[in-house]
Amino acid sequence: MRSSTGEHYPALDHIRGLAAFMVFTWHFLHESPEGPVPYGIVPALPIFSLLDEGHTGVSLFMALSGYLFAKLLDGKQIR
| Model pTM above 0.75 | no
- Distance, CA of 8 to CA of 17 (rounded, Å): 15
In a domain, residue 57? The reply is: yes
Question: Is the pLDDT score of 38 beyond 70?
Answer: no
> By the 8 A CB rule, do 76 and 20 touch?
no
Amino acid at position 11, single letter: A
In a domain, residue 3? The reply is: no
Domain count for the chain: 1
The parent domain of residue 58 ranges over 43-72
- Write the pLDDT tens digit of every residue in 47-70: 767 777 788 899 999 999 999 888
In a domain, residue 47? The reply is: yes
In a domain, residue 13? The reply is: no
In a domain, residue 78? The reply is: no
In a domain, residue 24? The reply is: no
pLDDT band at 16 (very low <50, low <70, confident <90, very high): very high
